[in-house]
Amino acid sequence: MPVRPSLQVVRYLLSLAAGAAMPLGFSPFDVWPVPMLAIGIIFLLTRTLPVRTSAICGFLFGAGMFGTGTSWIYVSIHEFGAASPMLAGLLTGFFVLGISALMIMPIFLIYSWLNQRKAGQGNACRLSPWQQVLMFSGLWVLFEWVRSWLLTGFPWLLSGYALLDTPFAGLAPVVGTYGLSLLMVTTVCLLFALVIPAKPQQRAANIIALSIVLVCWGLPWPLNHIQWTEKTGDISFSAVQGNIPQNLKWDPDYIHTTISTYIGLSEDHWEQELIIWPENAIPLFYNRALGLMTQLDRLARQNNSTLILGMPVDDNSGSETRYFNSILSLGEGDSLAAGSSSTESPGRYDKQKLVPFGEYVPMASILRGLIDFFDLPMSEFSRGGYEQSLLKAGKVNVAPYICYEVVYPDFVAQMAKESGLLITISNDTWFGKSIGPVQHFQIARMRALETGRFMIRATNDGITALIDEKGDVLETIPRFANGVLSSTAEIREGQTPFMIYGSWPVLLLSVLLVLLPLYSKPFLRGNCLPKCRLPG
C-alpha cells in the first residue's frame, strides 16, 4: 500500500526543518541541545524508509543545514563579488544543493541500502534498532571526515563543534572534533531508539543502551581537569586589527592609508616581544614592497621584537611567476632576506589550504570573465608546499595558520607538534556581519583545545582574540573597529593524545560501527522487529 502523499510531505518537511535547526547549536547561538534533537529526529524518520525516500530526506536535511548555516556565502558573492541578488542567491543555492547531494545524502542512501533489502512486495528492516544506531553513527562521522578533503574539503558545521562549551569538551584533546561528533550522534540515537516499541526480551537491551549513554556522557567530566601540556614560558604580544574596508583593501589609491593605519596602530607597541598583523595586512606583493619590508624589519630589530604579518608573495624563482598567500616573520624572528624568493625560508609560510573561488578558481579557463565573482582580487594563488618550517618569534616556535586552514583538525594538530604557540591570521571582512566569522572563531577555539596550546588570532575586522589551551577566550577586542589587543600568551610544550594519534582511531571505530551490524547474526538471519516494515 503506497504512502499517503500528505504523510510523505510531512516527512520531507520535518527533514528540512531538522536540518535548518542544526546551526542553532553553533556560534553565535550556542544552543547545543538543538543539534542533538535534530539528529535524533532524522534518525527516527529514516530508520525504516526505502532507499529512495531516505536519500531524499537526507538531501533535504543537508539543504536545511547548509542553507541556514552557510548563508554567509551569499554575502561574499553579492557584496564583494559584484553579483546581483538573484545571481548571488542562485550561486549560493547551487553550492548548498551540491554539498547536500555529495556530502549528506550518501549517508542516508548507504544507511538505508545496508539497513534494508527487498522481501516479497515490500522493504523489510534487517537490523535491530541498536544495530541501526551503530551503522548510522559510523556513517555520519565518516562522511564528516570525507567532507574535510573531498573537492579540497569543506569541514564546516561538524557536529562536534556544538559541544565546545559543554562538559563534553574534555574529550576533544583525546579524540578531536570527529570523536565529539561520534559521541553526540551515537548517544543521541541510542536515546531516541528507546522510544521504539520493543519486545519483552529486548528490554534488557534498552537498559544496556541507557547505561552506555550515561557512561559516555560521564566520561568527559574528569577529563576537563587534565592538563595535557605544560607551561614553559610567556611571550608578550600585540595583535593589530586594522578594520580596512574590503572594497578598499586592494584599491591602489588606498594602499598608503592601509599601511599607515597598521604602522600607526603599532607605534606604541614595539616594546612587545611579538606584534601580529592580519592576513594580507600589506596589500602589496613582497617584491614590490622591499623597501617597506626592510624598514619594518629594522624597526622590529631595534626594539628586540618580532613582527609577524600577512602579505602576498610573488615568487620568481621558477620559469614563471607564482603567487602565494603568505605569512612573514621579521625582526627577532627568522627574517626573510631582502630580495629572497625561496619558499623554504624559515621566515615565511605559504598557505597550503586554499579557498576555491576566493584564492584560486577551478576550471579558470572556462569561468574567468563570466562574472566579476570569478575575477576577485588575489584569486590566482598557488598552494604552499607540505614541508614548511615553523615561524620563529625570538626563540619560540610558532605554528602559523592562514584563515581557512584552521578548520582542518588533523592539519592543525600535525603542524602544532613542534610549536609552543599557535597563531592564526584572517580576513573575515568578506562575510560582513553574517554568522560566518563567528562560526570561524568557534572552530579556531576548538583547535586550541585539541592541541593544548594558546592561540593568538589576529583579523582585519574581528574577532581578534587570545584563546587559552582549554579553548576559552581570555581577551578580545570589538568587531568592526580598529584597535590593538595587548596581552601575554603562555608558551606550552607536550602533546595531547589527539596530536599523537589524530582522527584515525575515531575513523577506524566508525568503520567498525558500520561493518559490525553487517556481520552480526540478526542481519544474516533476516531478523526484524514486526513494526519495522513501512510501505512505500
Extract long-range pairs of 192-197: CB within 8 Å, 24+ residues apart: 192/40, 192/41, 192/43, 192/44, 193/43, 193/129, 193/130, 193/132, 193/133, 195/44, 196/44, 196/129, 196/529, 196/531, 197/529, 197/531
pLDDT tens digits, residue range 386-423? Answer: 889 999 999 999 999 999 999 999 999 999 999 999 99
pLDDT of residue 362: 60
pLDDT of residue 533: 43
Alpha-carbon span 476 to 239, nearest angstrom: 10
Yes or no: say if 237 and 486 are a contact pair by the CB < 8 Å rule.
Answer: yes
pLDDT tens digits, residue range 61-106? Answer: 999 999 999 999 998 888 877 788 999 999 999 999 999 999 999 9
Length of the chain: 536
Residues 6+ apart with CB under 8 A from 207: none
pLDDT of residue 221: 87
Alpha-carbon span 274 to 331, nearest angstrom: 10
pLDDT of residue 124: 47
Enter the DSSP assignment of 80. I
The amino acid that residue 86 corresponds to is M
pLDDT band at 18 (very low <50, low <70, confident <90, very high): very high
pLDDT of residue 4: 66
pLDDT tens digits, residue range 268-306? Answer: 999 999 999 999 999 999 999 999 999 999 999 999 999
Over the chain, what is the mean pLDDT?
Answer: 88
pLDDT of residue 198: 63
Task: Determine how many CB atoms are found less than 10 A away from the CB of residue 110.
Answer: 19
283-308: b (≥16 Cβ within 10 Å) or e: bbbbbebeeebeebbebbeebebbbb
Q: Return the SS3 of 103.
A: helix
Q: How far is CA 304 from the centre of its chain?
A: 35
pLDDT of residue 200: 62
pLDDT of residue 247: 85
What is the residue whose three cell numbers read 574581528?
462
Q: Which amino acids are annotated catalytic?
A: 279, 351, 403
What is the residue whose three cell numbers read 579557498?
355
Q: Provide the CATH number for the domain formed by 230-353+386-495 in this structure.
A: 3.60.110.10
> Which range, of 8-12, 332-336, 441-445, 457-461, averages the lowest pLDDT?
332-336
Residue 97 main-chain phi, psi, to 5 deg: -70, -40
pLDDT tens digits, residue range 175-203? Answer: 999 999 999 999 999 999 988 776 665 66
* Helices 33-46 and 5-21, packing angle to 10 deg: 150
Alpha-carbon span 160 to 32, nearest angstrom: 10
pLDDT of residue 199: 64
Task: Determine how many CB atoms are found less than 10 A away from the CB of residue 120.
Answer: 7
pLDDT for residue 371 is more than 70: no
Residues 6+ apart with CB under 8 A from 107: 58, 136, 139, 140, 143
Q: Which three cell numbers stand for residue 206?
A: 534498552
pLDDT for residue 118 is more than 70: no
Alpha-carbon span 6 to 245, nearest angstrom: 50
pLDDT band at 321 (very low <50, low <70, confident <90, very high): confident
pLDDT tens digits, residue range 474-484? Answer: 999 999 999 99
Q: Which three cell numbers stand for residue 272?
A: 612587545
pLDDT of residue 529: 41
pLDDT for residue 532 is more than 60: no
* Sheet of 322-331, strands arranged across: 348-350, 322-331, 306-315, 274-276, 230-241, 483-493
Domain residue limits, the chain: 5-225+501-532, 230-353+386-495
Alpha helix positions (H), 22-116:
33-46, 51-69, 72-75, 85-99, 105-115
Mean pLDDT of 309-321: 86
User: Which one, of 301, 296, 333, 298, lies nearest residue 311 by Cα?
Assistant: 296
pLDDT of residue 369: 52
